Chains A and B, each alone.
Chain A
Amino acid sequence: MPSFTLRVFRGDAGGGDFKEYRVEADDGMVVLDVIHRIQAVQATDLAVRWNCKAGKCGSCSAEINGKPRLLCMTRMNLFAEGEPITVAPMRTFPMVRDLVTDVSYNYAKARTVPPLRLKPPEPDGTYRMMQEDIDRIQEFHKCIECFLCQDVCHVIRDHDTKRAFAGPRFFIKIAGLEMHPLDTRDRTAHLKDAAGVGLCNITKCCSDVCPEHIHITDNAIIPLKERLADEYFDPVFWMIRKLRGTRSQTPA
């Protein structure tokens, strides 16, 4: 049974440090298994979030050797025996304890996204949508809300989290609504001001860490930026908007 040294962050809002644990890993184990093994015997109060253990719920986000990853989808055989493994909480969010951070920032942002405004049904009372019209949005709906993209986004990570910026998770949420065949709301003003999509400078760090491999930058953020450019900076669109004013900008 290969044996590893894990350096796990232990501490709380008041501070803390990395602590070393020697632990053995069985065949096929992931980092979360090893963390649980430490928790069961060596440190019963080691704080870690987890639920599904299959990459579906997005609870066990952390930074392993500096890289934002899911603990449950990181196999131990990625590491050579004897190679030290550092497990730290997501750095962007305020510390609660050990590997658990306060991710309420994301839940607050979620509430600000203007929700779906439904169009009227077909004459027979149903809604029809073609598969090819929803393929792209279904990609966005794969998001498991692990918030690793928010963690790695340098607009949030290196700056003040209080600024008007939604972050990659909510850009795909907004894009999914904007492209939704049944939606009638216009979110361009929200995108420009509250969501601050202009602050993103397309470094694609978010797409790189996404465990669902969602093309966040290419398929969501860039189209949103284009929409904004069209609406606000293209004189023809500006004129049409002025004259028709079809899509309302009022909140929910």
Chain B
Amino acid sequence: MAASYETLEHDVIVIGAGGAGLRAAIEAAAQGVSVGLICKSLLGKAHTVMAEGGIAAALGNVWPEDSWQVHFRDTMRGGKMLNNWRMAQLHAQEAPERVLELERWGALFDRTKDGRILQRDFGGHRYARLAHVGDRTGLEMIRTLQYHAIHQGLDVYMECTVARLLKDGDRVVGAFGYRRDTGEFVIFKAKAVVLATGGIGKAWTITSNSWEYTGDGHSLALWAGADLIDMEFVQFHPTGMVWPPSVRGILVTEGVRGDGGTLRNSAGQRFMFNYIPEFFRAETADNEAEADRWYTDKKNNRRTPDLLPRDEVARAINAEVKAGRGSPHGGVFLDISTRRPADYIRRRLPSMYHQFKELADVDITREPMEVGPTCHYVMGGVRVEADTTASTVPGLFAAGEVAGGMHGSNRLGGNSLSDLLVFGRRAGLHAALYAKNFGGQLVVEAGQVEAIAAELLRPLARPGPENPYTIQGELQETMQALVGIIRTESELKTALRRLAELKERARAVEVQGGRVYNPGWHTAIDLDSLLTVAECCALAALERTESRGGHTRGDFPRTDPEWGKVNVVVRLKNGGPMLRREPLPQMGEELRALFEEKR
């Protein structure tokens, strides 16, 4: 009986405790409602902790010319105009206040000479815009939020995985999951649920994402009847480590290039000059001298192509390696050692210095790094209302990477941390308001819970011979080989066929051991969501017959203006995903005018 499960009740539960989840929980608590914050790992270990370069916000501390309008324009152009314009506008307008708020909560950003927050250059941003702490900005952000949150009277449930959302009629009324340390089930009754679960990067072999990134929030939302949009757009960060094999995919911050590092091929050429797309030609330097001058004089010079948006750089690296101009271990060279003094490198990039020294025996102050693309971020996610973060299901909100729309077809570096803060706060606020207006009783029907519990326990009953890690590995290899940076119709169809087979095999997954802290069991359960998001991604990628941002079709290499008018929407129908094309919201005249001015 359901009554035998631990049952907790809050006005608002927040699933995920990275930047978005923490900020949402803080805001909801500030509205005076009871808040439960649930995280799969220990508090402070979420993916935000790994963010390196900085938080994009038009503070104008280094370049007073900067403004929210310029940031908005950069963001929309970086996303190849597929962004939800209202999200991009709110984000650009509110990011500076969210950064200053972190400072009031104790964050210590690197300083300008006159004692204000220093800002650094990053790809696709016209001005130096990223508030940062060396190359460990995410750590500063999550610690600040974490230590602020624990004094706001909210309850934190660590190492607890949510497996399904609970519904009463159309509306979401809670969540069902298990405590990882005991394996016991737990029911969360809640008037409103905020998803802040991050992304889907664990569906690829070469990834900067940890075991947690299995698309839980995307799947929870889809299964609960919500819409997902833009699932074809996956960001491959251009610079991940490529050697040794065991660290392949670990992130190398864009800050290396922001602080003066350049990409070179095996012939020593700065190849990015050969990959400047028409869309960015007017604002990008076409020779090395101008590119180098740009770091100190942005008024009279155009930006270095090393700092084109991530999708452009990742494709360029991919092409260089395929053309046989790669580094010994299948990447390209990223060099800052000949460009900046050793002291400067150690001060600005301490964790990159440490990471290469300890894991690859490379001293980045003396020699170049070898880097290549790594799966990093999903632009697609839960379709939300820009101002409130409300999904299409009553009571369900989403913020951060799990939400779609903000970044369009490609996210600019630094825009994620600011997204988490801006929309985390909005999610917490609107979930609390929704909870305050919640009418009627919170009812969780017992049969619903029993069915989920039985499903979750199936791998422990040893139904068949499959190993959960093997299935996960094959899924990752499928996505890596067939739904990677460059996609084609035939490969996507093959991927969908293999995913269907894996789905079937996953039903026969069995695990050793019991319910107490059993990673085999957890991996088996996470396969449900991982398979779901992988299928959504491949289906959406097959649907969009053009190339744009984080979606490149080898068989449709051009960007098609007609496709620029629609989002691909995924919705559940008869138990399976169904696709629709729906028109993109259109911005008003005033904002549109920002794109007519040339540079």
Counting CB contacts under 8 A, is B293 at the interface? no
- Most chain A CB within 10 A, of B43, B47, B147, is at B147
Cα(A12)–Cα(B108), bound, Å? 41
Bound: A82/B204 CA distance, A: 34
CA distance A238 to B47 in the complex (A): 47
- Is the CB of A199 closer than 8 A to any CB of chain B? no
Partner of B519, one of A46, A111, A252: A46
Judge whether B115 and A128 touch: CB under 8 Å. yes
Asked whether B518 lies within 8 Å of A47 as measured between CB atoms, the reply is: yes
Contact partner of A56 (CB less than 8 A), chosen from B49, B105, B360, B468, is B49
On whether the beta carbons of A54 and B148 are closer than 8 Å, the reply is no
A58 to chain B, nearest CB (A): 7
Picked from B41, B139, B150, B523, the residue with its CB within 8 Å of the CB of A144 is B139
What CA separation (Å) do A102 and B517 show in the bound complex? 11
Contact, CB under 8 Å: A134 / B246: no
Point out the residues of chain A lying under 8 angstroms from B519, CB to CB. 39, 44-48
Q: Which of A26-34, A160-168, A200-208, A242-250 contacts B (4 or more CB under 8 A)?
A: A26-34
Known: A57-B50, A115-B147. A30 touches B246 (CB 8 A): yes
CB under 8 Å from chain A, chain B span 185-209: none
User: Is B166 an interface position by the 8 A CB rule?
Assistant: no
Q: Write out the residue numbers on chain A whose beta carbons fall within 8 Å of the beta carbon of B212.
A: 51
Cα separation A52 to B142 with both chains bound (whole Å) = 14
Q: In this assembly, does A142 line the interface, its C-beta being within 8 Å of a C-beta of chain B?
A: yes
Query: Is A91 located at the chain interface by the 8 A CB criterion?
Result: no
Does chain B have a CB within 8 A of A209?
no
Query: A198 contacts which chain B residues (CB < 8 A)?
Result: none
Chain B residues near A241: list those with CB within 8 A.
none
In the complex, per-residue mask of A167-183: 1 if CB is within 8 Å of any chain B CB, else 0: 00000010001001011
**B333 is an interface residue with CB less than 8 A from chain A:** no
Contacts of B250 in A (CB 8 A): 53-54
Q: Are B143 and A141 in contact (CB under 8 A)?
A: yes
Check A73/B358 contact, CB under 8 A, given A28-B246, A129-B115: yes
Q: Contact: B246 with A29, CB < 8 Å? A: yes
Interface residue tally on B, bucketed by range: 35 or more
Given contacts A51-B210, A96-B516, is CB(A141)–CB(B49) below 8 Å? no
Q: Smallest CB–CB gap between A140 and chain B, Å?
A: 9
8 Å CB contacts to B: which residues of A23-69?
A: 26-30, 33, 39-41, 43-59
The reply to whether A55 and B517 form a contact with Cβ atoms under 8 Å apart is: no
Name B136's closest neighbour in chain A (CB-CB).
Answer: A142
Closest residue to B472 on the A side, CB-wise?
Answer: A40
Contacting residues, chain B, for A39 (C-beta < 8 A): 469, 519-520
Q: With A116-B105, A131-B111 known to touch, is A44 a contact of B147 (CB < 8 Å)?
A: no
- Contact A127 B359, beta carbon cutoff 8 Å: no
> Are the CB atoms of B45 and A59 closer together than 8 Å?
yes
Measured between beta carbons, the chain A residues less than 8 angstroms from B523 are 44
Residues B49 and A52 in contact, CB atoms below 8 Å apart: yes
Cβ contact of A141, chosen from B133, B247, B358, cutoff 8 A: B133
Known: A57-B45, A138-B133. A130 touches B247 (CB 8 A): no
A75 close to B (CB within 8 Å): yes
Name which residue of chain B comes closest to A48, CB basis: B519
Q: Residue B512 at the A interface, CB < 8 A? A: yes
Q: How many residues of A contact B (CB 8 A)?
A: 62
Say yes or no: is A97 at the interface (Cβ < 8 Å to chain B).
yes
Do B211 and A51 touch across chains, with their CB atoms under 8 A apart?
A: yes
Q: Write out the residue numbers on chain B whose beta carbons fall within 8 Å of the beta carbon of A12.
A: 516
Partner of B43, one of A27, A29, A107, A134: A107
- The B-contacting residues of A in range 69-97, CB under 8 angstroms, are 73, 75, 96-97
Do the beta carbons of B115 and A130 come within 8 Å of each other?
yes
Near A by CB (< 8 A), chain B positions 128-167 give 133-134, 136, 139-140, 143, 147-148, 150-151, 156, 158
Q: Which of B486-539 contact A (CB under 8 A)?
A: 511-514, 516-521, 523
The answer for the CA separation of A116 and B104 in the assembled complex, in Å, is 9
Interface string of A132-163 (1 = CB under 8 A from B): 00100110011111000000000000000000
From B111, B244, B467, give the contact of A26 (CB < 8 A): B244
Whether A107 contacts B158 by the Cβ 8 Å rule is yes
Q: Is B292 interfacial (CB 8 A cutoff)? A: no
- B44 on interface, CB distance cutoff 8 Å: yes
Q: Closest CB-CB distance, B110 to chain A, in whole Å?
A: 7
Is A236 at the interface (CB under 8 A from chain B)?
A: no
In the complex, how many angstroms separate the beta carbon of A44 from the nearest chain B beta carbon?
3
B520 contacts A45, C-beta separation under 8 Å: yes
Q: Which residues of B contact A118 (CB under 8 A)?
A: 104
Which of A27, A41, A57, A98 has its CB near the most chain B CB atoms (within 10 A)? A57
Question: Would you call B50 and A52 a contact (CB within 8 A)?
Answer: yes
- Bound Cα distance A55, B49 (Å): 11
Report whether A54 and B355 are in contact in the complex, using a CB–CB cutoff of 8 Å.
yes
Residues in chain B near residue A55, CB distance under 8 A: 354-355, 358
Task: Contact check, B108 vs A134: say whether CB atoms are below 8 A apart.
Answer: yes
Interface residues of B in 47-72 (CB under 8 A from A): 47, 49-50
Kindly supply a per-residue 1/0 record for chain B positions 440-476, scoring 1 wherever the CB is within 8 Å of any chain A CB and 0 otherwise: 0000000000000000000000000001111001000
Given the complex of chains A and B, what is the CA–CA distance between A43 and B523 in angstroms? Answer: 13
B318 within 8 A of A: no
A28:B516 contact, CB within 8 angstroms: no
Is B243 an interface position by the 8 A CB rule? Answer: yes
Tell me if A116 and B211 are in contact (CB < 8 A).
Answer: no
Question: Which of A49, A50, A126 contacts B116, CB < 8 Å?
Answer: A126
Contacts of B148 in A (CB 8 A): 115
Tell me whether B512 and A130 are in contact (CB under 8 A): no
Given contacts A26-B245, A51-B210, contact A57 B49 (CB under 8 A): yes
Contact A53/B210 with A12-B516, A96-B181, A111-B150 known, Cβ cut-off 8 Å: yes
B351 at the interface (CB under 8 A from A): yes
Q: With a CB–CB cut-off of 8 A, which chain B residues contact A113? A: 147
Minimum CB–CB distance from A244 to chain B (whole Å) comes to 26
List of A residues within 8 angstroms of B354 by Cβ: 55
| A54 → chain B closest CB, angstroms | 5
**Residues 3-44 of B at the A interface (beta carbon under 8 Å):** 41-44
Report the Cα distance A235→B424, complex, angstroms.
50
Any A CB within 8 A of the CB of B103: yes
Q: How far is the CB of B189 from chain A (nearest CB, A)?
A: 24
Residues of B within 8 A of A115 (CB): 106, 147-148, 151
CA distance A26 to B247 in the complex (A): 11
A103 beta carbon closer than 8 Å to chain B: yes
- Residue from A96, A141, A252 with most neighbouring chain B CB atoms (10 Å): A141
Return A35 CB to nearest CB of chain B, in Å. 10
Given contacts A44-B467, A55-B358, contact A49 B136 (CB under 8 A): no
Determine the residue in chain A with the shortest Cβ distance to B114.
A128
* Docked CA distance A97–B245 (Å): 29
Contacts of A43 in B (CB 8 A): 512
A-B complex: 10 closest residue pairs judged by Cβ atoms: A28-B244, A45-B513, A128-B115, A44-B520, A97-B517, A131-B111, A47-B517, A40-B469, A51-B210, A116-B106
- What are 6 A-B contacts with C-beta separation under 8 Å? A51-B46, A51-B50, A56-B50, A110-B147, A129-B111, A177-B106
Contacts beyond the supplied A30-B359, A51-B46, A115-B151: 13 A-B pairs with Cβ under 8 Å: A27-B244, A27-B245, A28-B247, A29-B244, A33-B246, A46-B519, A96-B516, A107-B43, A129-B108, A130-B115, A131-B110, A141-B108, A141-B143
